[in-house]
Amino acid sequence: MKHYEPPKKNLWTGRISNKWLYLHEKVHCTPLVEIPEAQKKSIALLGYACDAGVHRNQGRVGAVDGPDAIKSSFGKMPNHLASHVLLHDVGSITCTNSDMEASQDQLAEAVAILLEKKQFPIVLGGGHDMAYGHYCGIKQYLDAKKEGQTIGIINFDAHFDLRKNTEQGNSGTPFYQIAQDSQKEGINFNYLCLGIRKDANDRNLFQTARDLDVTYVMNDTFQVPLLQEITTWINAFAKNVDQVYVTIDLDGFSSAFAPGVSAASPMGFTPHIVLECLKTIISTGKLISLDIAEMNPKYDIDGQTAKLAASLVHHVAHTVSGS
């Protein structure tokens, strides 16, 4: 693979127990081409080391280093995965000469490979343009099965990311690109966005969301006291699709929790509501893949955002594996 970097063993450090008490002792650094077909539960961490789309979208660059920061923080956390559950670091998709499109194509190929090998992919970014490549990889895998399965996208984000790619794609266009592809193929665009802020999207974006029949929950509603109602919306959305792809943009969180992102704001949501929603999504049995976008170590404070991202990965990995 041209735009690919093998896993880095030096990222996986921490306390030594010799009893697999920590995740750096559990993980297998396995190049993508060597990933085995899973016989039991198996989770694969794949980086998307690209922020060319953030630069195009006039955001703060630095998310190219996000995957390594998340992996390093994750490795230091306690391991509660059952002994039969496998955990792989399969390296990272890279970006050369700002060729974001080539990186997205490579990401799609990598995600399809992981799904074919019966791995559960968790992709770590990197700009939110990763969502287009990630979705294309899921679709490529499902189309090859020729079962006509539908994909629902659940995005935890302050932004719709429905900007029109009139010239080039960027970190703000992935879901518009997916919508356009869906229209060309004559299939439904199933998109639920949780945490949308009025101060982070112009009126044209709200109109685009209405035109595309996007379901969204505003940030002032996306709160723990309204969890029961939000859970109802999530279950209703999941009921109408065959597979669910979840993408978490770290800039949707308040900067009190996530200062190290491409577009920080104090007005975002809390980790607690996201964790509760993830439990609901996973309980549907339809979650096929997940990613975390916009981790920017350049602006992080005391590794706080990396720890938040790693905690989200920790939660998902243990929940999907039943550990």
- Binding site residues for Mn(2+), as ranges? 128, 157, 159, 161, 249, 251
Task: Detail the residues annotated as belonging to a binding site.
Answer: 128, 157, 159, 161, 249, 251
Cβ atoms of residues 123 and 46 within 8 Å: yes
**Cα 115 to Cα 92: distance, rounded to the nearest angstrom:** 16
Rounded Cα distance, 19 and 80, in Å: 11
Residue in 267, 260, 264 with CA at minimum distance from that of residue 299: 260
Whether 267 and 197 have beta carbons less than 8 Å apart is answered as yes
Tokens at 91, concatenated: 């390296």
Q: How many Å apart are CA 154 and CA 232, to the nearest integer?
A: 14
**Beta-carbon contacts of residue 146 (< 8 Å; ≥ 6 apart):** none
Q: How far is residue 150's CA from residue 143's CA, in Å, rounded to a whole number? A: 10
- CA 45 vs. chain centroid, Å, equals 11
Q: Looking up tokens 């685009």, which residue turns up?
A: 208
Classified as helix, coil or strand, 217 is strand
8 Å CB contact between 127 and 53? yes
